[in-house]
Structure 1
Amino acid sequence: MISARINYLATRYFDNTCTPAEKLELAEWISRQTDDAVLQQVLGDAWESHVPLIQMPDEMSDRIVAGMFGRTTGTVAVTGTSGAEVVPMRNRRKIWWAAAGLFLMGGIGMWAWQHQPAPAPVAESRQQRYKNEVMPGSNRAILTLADGSTIALDSAGNGLLGRQGAVKIIKQANGELAYIGNGNSEAMYNTMSTPRGGQYHLTLPDGTQVWLNAASSITYPAAFTGKERKVTVKGEAYFEVTPNAHMPFRVAAGNTEITVLGTRFNVNAYTEEPAIRTTLVDGTVSVAVGKISMMLRPRMQARVGKDNVLHVTENIDTDETIAWKNGFFQFTDADMPTVMRQIEKWYDVNVSYEGAIPEKSFGGGIQRSLPLTKVLGILEENGVKFKIEGKKIIVLK
């Protein structure tokens, strides 16, 4: 059965009142029909009630019908073909066939054009995708003193930067920070923080060496007094702790506390990472979460997730863990988000994905001193492409 909607559309088409959307709807319906009789009924009925403004010559209508349907209409002579003369009813059937043929060719052609797949975009070259360069991070940090005042360490001159009680804060010739002098009973806390695209090396008042990765901070007293040496870390830091059996060194990082006497270890406590990871290079440390604690031996890693559950893994590649401190990105079967989180922090950029995140894994080392285009060019060898727009990286499909 032919729907009233189709009859309505056919009538509007021949009356030239169809909207573009209605023409497309009718064309789609015609494209699905395989029965000439159905087409003849719908289009013929619509044409019969229509008075054409311009006649179609007989031979043209016959050619169209023969071309479209493989037969002719039985030509009847037509005279007086001027202007807007009304065509005799006996010829209307022939002319609607021709009109239907034209509609089929034009309408379905439009439908096919509207629905053809979009042409595949021309692949952009690497030079076109990398619209600008982004340089790597550098030694940059902000020192916040106990009174709330701040010092930009990368722009400060060498020498005395300030005092905290009896302790002098010195920027050394190599650009690193050191605390010199004896403390007193008053605890005066300082915070060193690195921005994205920054890193810094600090010597704590007890001689402990600390390297801060990008977007990290450490809070510590200007002088260690009492029975312990305690600091708080956010982000990532590598420690070489000065031994002192009478004053254990403690690091608070999120929900994890690390206790050491003298050792080398790395703490990764970025909030965007799934777990806080403490990796022991040498010596011994105790890692605790709540009332649960675990002693680590070299090449062991403790992971504490958001659920406060402690997991320990052995035979960790410590070279990979502290590669950042030695000037490298180092990956072993790292997925795309893991890699791009490191890129974001070191180059101070934001990463977005065009579509789904590529299921790729990466391995190997890359120098952190390279400009961003060089690093991405190396990563592209693994079958993924990037685009740089200002401070934004787009991972392409």
Structure 2
Amino acid sequence: MNREEVISLMEKYAAGSLSAEEEQHFRSWMEQVSPAEFQSLLNEASHIPAAFKAWQSPSPEFIQRLEQRLDERSGKTKIFTLTRMVAAASVIVLAVIAAVFYYNREPQARTLAQQEQQPDVHPGGNRATLQLGDGTVIALDSANEGELTRQGNTRIIKLANGQLAYQGGDEHAVPVFNTITTPNGGQYQIELPDGSKAWLNAASSLRFPSYFAGGERVVELEGEGYFEIAANAAQPFRVKIREGVVEVLGTSFNINAYADESAARTTLLQGAVKVHKGTAAMLLKPGQQAVMSNGTITRLPNADTEQAIAWKNGFFQFDGIGLPELMRQISRWYNLEVKFEGKIPEREFAGKISRDVNLQDVLKALQINGVNFKRTGNILVVTP
């Protein structure tokens, strides 16, 4: 089939109007197409719901890791088709190929779609507050572009791209501590007084001085943040989290330290960091991750750096995580209270989805794989 014929079949499939013969041709093509080709054709199709186009195919690196997991669990030949992957290892791949099959399911399988009378929940965005040392609170998302205030010689500015920046400063002045906080459904980027940059995920906060004086640069993080640190060997950069301290010289790294997660994870992309927990310390190299849990530090030598910073790049990315962890990510971004009713399905999810889509699109794609939901306002109940 040529591209025009395939696109036509894709659009008919989404609308549920394929003939039996067309469906047979389409399914046969689906078994052979590469993820890259499928995504390219999907992007050209003009009559397919946004939920389909929100889902991204896993990267080649992810597929390789998933194959290894399948081999370890099942001892079977490597398999690429979605249906057989699920059967072999109970690993659910949330990809565009899975989404295509949603709208052609039996009507009784679409319980979520029947709840669409409720207003949809929009994705999060650039929302945060800045609390100054004197207690003044500035709503950054509604603040005008330009200078917001001054602290001594330090100018606090909202740039044209919405980013917060600290400029100037006096090394002889007494630093004043400020705190930037993102709510559920918020994220924000800030340029710190030394030129380092930080990105905060939803439900996170960063406490920092208006000027880095003395022999070190220290900030305090709750939640999740990605950092690009300005190099200064004479003034090491340290991030304090609930579980310990991450010491930096000049580097790019991500810290996930939410209080409701079982471990704090520091993932290094470039440079070098040293993770401290009590008297224990661990030096990381690029591509490694330190996991702090129950008073110990464990090194993962081949961390999934793409997954670690997917949120910063505008995606949810799952690499074999359980449903509770997946739902915690969704609850933070869409400002939901998630509850589980009955037994939690013991499944692992893998794949990638844009954080720019509405909640309903995310839930539809999850429901394909046997996860059901009931929503009332901002309360989302997950049912078997």
How much does 1:186 deviate? 0.3
Q: Provide Cα deviations, 1:60-104, integer angstroms capped at 9, x if missing partner.
A: xxxxxxxxxxxxxxxxxxxxxxxxxxxxxxxxxxxxxxxxxxxxx
Residue equivalent to 1:388: 375
How much does 1:210 deviate? 0.2
Residue equivalent to 2:115: 129
1:81-96 equivalences in 2 (<5 Å): none
From 247, 256, 262, the counterpart of 2:250: 262
* Partner Cα distance (2:355, 2:266) in 1: 22
Amino acid in the other structure paired with 2:204: S
Residue equivalent to 2:356: 369
Query: Contact (CA 8 Å) 1:188, 1:222: kept in 2 or not?
Result: yes
From 131, 151, 154, the counterpart of 2:138: 151
From 275, 288, 291, the counterpart of 1:287: 275
Query: Contact (CA 8 Å) 2:169, 2:210: kept in 1 or not?
Result: no
* Partner Cα distance (1:228, 1:301) in 2: 24
Instruction: Confirm or deny that 1:312 pairs with 2:299.
Output: yes
Amino acid in the other structure paired with 1:138: G
Instruction: Confirm or deny that 1:357 pairs with 2:370.
Output: no
Q: Provide Cα deviations, 1:306-355, integer angstroms capped at 9, x if missing partner.
A: x2111111101100010000000000111100100000000000111121
Which stretches of structure 1, 4 residues or more, deviate above 6 A after TM superposition? none
1:38-187 equivalences in 2 (<5 Å): 125-130=111-116, 131-183=118-170, 184-187=172-175
From 201, 209, 214, the counterpart of 1:213: 201
How much does 1:132 deviate? 3.1
Residue equivalent to 1:92: none
From 310, 315, 319, the counterpart of 1:323: 310
Residue equivalent to 1:198: 186
CA RMSD of aligned residues (A): 1.2
Amino acid in the other structure paired with 1:194: T
Residue equivalent to 1:234: 222
How much does 1:124 deviate? 6.2
* Partner Cα distance (1:299, 1:123) in 2: 42
Residue equivalent to 2:335: 348
Q: Provide Cα deviations, 1:130-167, integer angstroms capped at 9, x if missing partner.
A: 43310000100000001010000000001110111110
* Partner Cα distance (1:136, 1:188) in 2: 34
Amino acid in the other structure paired with 2:239: V
Give aligned-pair identity as a percent. Answer: 49
Residue equivalent to 2:15: none
* TM-score in terms of structure 2 length: 0.70
How much does 1:222 deviate? 0.4
The structure number with the bigger radius of gyration is 1
* Partner Cα distance (1:377, 1:125) in 2: 10
Query: Contact (CA 8 Å) 1:256, 1:276: kept in 2 or not?
Result: no
Stretch deviating more after TM superposition (146-155 or 357-366): 357-366
**Which consecutive residues of structure 2, in runs of 5 or more, have no partner in the other structure?**
1-107
* Partner Cα distance (1:257, 1:134) in 2: 36
**Secondary structure of 1:341 counterpart:** helix
* TM-score in terms of structure 1 length: 0.68
Q: Provide Cα deviations, 1:5-43, integer angstroms capped at 9, x if missing partner.
A: xxxxxxxxxxxxxxxxxxxxxxxxxxxxxxxxxxxxxxx
Query: Contact (CA 8 Å) 1:129, 1:386: kept in 2 or not?
Result: no
* Partner Cα distance (2:341, 2:292) in 1: 32
Q: Provide Cα deviations, 1:344-377, integer angstroms capped at 9, x if missing partner.
A: 0000001111211111211100000000000111
Residue equivalent to 1:188: 176
Q: Which has the higher contact order (CA 8 A, sep 6+)?
A: 2
Query: Contact (CA 8 Å) 1:132, 1:389: kept in 2 or not?
Result: no
How much does 1:123 deviate? 6.6
How much does 1:387 deviate? 2.1
Query: Contact (CA 8 Å) 1:362, 1:382: kept in 2 or not?
Result: no
Residue equivalent to 1:275: 263
**Secondary structure of 2:311 counterpart:** helix
How much does 1:201 deviate? 0.3
Amino acid in the other structure paired with 1:126: L
Amino acid in the other structure paired with 2:314: G
Residue equivalent to 2:80: none
* Partner Cα distance (2:188, 2:205) in 1: 10
Query: Contact (CA 8 Å) 1:278, 1:303: kept in 2 or not?
Result: yes
**Which consecutive residues of structure 1, in runs of 5 or more, have no partner in the other structure?**
1-121
Residue equivalent to 1:26: none
Amino acid in the other structure paired with 1:228: E
* Partner Cα distance (1:228, 1:370) in 2: 41
* Partner Cα distance (1:329, 1:123) in 2: 25
Amino acid in the other structure paired with 2:335: D
